[in-house]
Amino acid sequence: MFKTIKQFIQEALRELGRVTWPSRITVIRMTIGVVIVSALFGLFAGLADLGITTALREMLILKGSQPAATGQNSPIQVNPGDVQVETTPAK
């Protein structure tokens, strides 16, 4: 069992030696590119969120300024004596 693990590690190290690794400057350029694209996407997502939030807020404000569908704008008045409550014992 240990022989197969040792063989696997040796083969993995040999394979890593065959890999063509990018140069340092290539890694730096690619990293900068990823950071820039991520920032642009974040800016786009933030602006889209702001626009949708503002539009929904404006629509809700406009809807709130219109009269209710029932034609009744005043709240319902309820006195405590008007409410009847029936209770049943718990089983």
Q: Tell me, what DSSP letter sits at residue 40? A: H
Q: Average pLDDT, whole number, for the chain?
A: 87
Q: Are 67 and 73 in contact (CB under 8 A)?
A: yes
Region for 5 from its dihedrals, namely left if φ exceeds 0, alpha if ψ lies in -120 to 50, beta otherwise: alpha
Mean pLDDT value of segment 71-76? 67
- Closest by alpha carbon to 8, among 70, 16, 82, 48? 16
What is the per-residue pLDDT across 39-61, written as a single tens digit (0 to 9) for each?
999 999 999 999 999 999 988 88
- Return the domain boundaries, the chain: 23-63
Structure tokens at 8: 């696997």
* pLDDT for residue 82 is more than 90: no
